[in-house]
Amino acid sequence: MAKKINLTPAGKLFFASVLNSITTGNMKSMFRIKGEPEKLRALSKAIQATKEYYDELKNPNSTIESVMKKLQKKHEVAQEFKDITGKDWPL
């Protein structure tokens, strides 16, 4: 069962934009994000790991092993994101 994450309307818009960017390959964002450098690095790493995972899923030459490796990395980075921010990575 998936864990429910409560987001503000701005948070929903942000993560919808991130997911759209990841799935379409257009990584330019309409958002300027300010915050603590450590939290911004964690966010950047989480977005990048999520993008790499979705890219691997779409790759017709991927293998189960390559997909699982990207998924594991995404989980590791998501845990790091949670450790740093106190928030679950919603993607």
Tell me which residue of 33, 55, 27, 46 sits closest to 90, measured CA to CA. Answer: 46
Which pLDDT score, from 0 to 100, does residue 70 have?
A: 96
Q: What is the pLDDT of residues 70-90, one digit of tens each?
A: 999 999 999 999 999 999 998
Q: What residue spans of 1-91 are helical by DSSP H?
A: 9-24, 37-58, 64-85
Which pLDDT score, from 0 to 100, does residue 17 have?
A: 75
Which pLDDT score, from 0 to 100, does residue 30 have?
A: 61
Which pLDDT score, from 0 to 100, does residue 8 have?
A: 73
Q: What is the pLDDT of residues 19-72, one digit of tens each?
A: 777 666 666 666 677 889 999 999 989 989 999 999 999 999 999 999 999 999
Give the predicted TM-score (pTM) of the model.
0.73
